[in-house]
């Protein structure tokens, strides 16, 4: 067994979010709404990784996430990988890719944007170099968002 696998106990059925850049598991929790999860969520931070040096891993028992939900994680990193576990075995390996619209992933950096005053969804459309807010229509580079 690899070191990585020892750090978090195996799950029988569910979703493993792997190769999360170290320290970013709280962002994944927030984006996927894991703090309200009915199912057990196991999180390991700063796990040794050959590919990344250090990484975080999250295992969600008995929950299979939809592709559009998982694709939101691409905003954190497109290195993130997903393993769907069934009967203790990897049933499917998925990668995440940027969706056509980011729904409720990040807050609008424009302090005057209505989404910062009202309780409402945030929507950003990825363009060539920026992510454009669907409300104030301003475009922002990735580095301008706080995760």
Binding positions for Zn ion, rule: CB under 5 A: 108, 110, 113, 133, 135-136
CA atoms of 80 and 32, how far apart (whole Å): 14
C-beta neighbour count of 70 within 10 angstroms = 21
User: Of 27 and 133, which has the nearer Cβ to Zn ion?
Assistant: 133
The β-bridge partners of 14 are: 61, 85
**In this structure, what is the dihedral angle of CA atoms 110, 114, 120, 126, given to the nearest 10 degrees?**
-40
User: Of 81 and 110, which has the nearer Cβ to Zn ion?
Assistant: 110
CB of 109 to Zn ion, least distance (A): 8
Q: Under a CB-based contact definition with an 8 Å cutoff, are residues 102 and 123 in contact?
A: yes
Q: Under a CB-based contact definition with an 8 Å cutoff, are residues 60 and 14 in contact?
A: yes
CB of 144 to Zn ion, least distance (A): 11
CB of 143 to Zn ion, least distance (A): 17
CB of 8 to Zn ion, least distance (A): 37
């Amino acid at each position: 067994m690899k070191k990585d696998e020892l750090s978090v106990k195996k799950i029988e059925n569910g979703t493993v979010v792997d190769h999360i850049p170290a320290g970013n598991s709280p962002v994944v929790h927030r984006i996927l709404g894991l703090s309200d999860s009915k199912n057990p969520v196991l999180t390991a931070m700063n796990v040794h990784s050959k590919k990344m040096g250090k990484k975080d891993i999250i295992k969600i028992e008995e929950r299979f996430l939809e592709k559009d939900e998982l694709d939101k994680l691409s905003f954190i990193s497109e290195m993130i990988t997903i393993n769907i576990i069934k009967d203790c075995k990897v049933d499917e390996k998925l990668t995440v890719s940027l969706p056509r619209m980011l729904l409720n992933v990040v807050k609008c950096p424009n302090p005057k944007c209505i989404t910062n005053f009202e309780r409402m969804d945030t929507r950003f459309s990825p363009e060539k170099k920026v992510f454009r807010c669907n409300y104030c229509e301003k475009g922002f580079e990735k580095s301008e968002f706080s995760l």
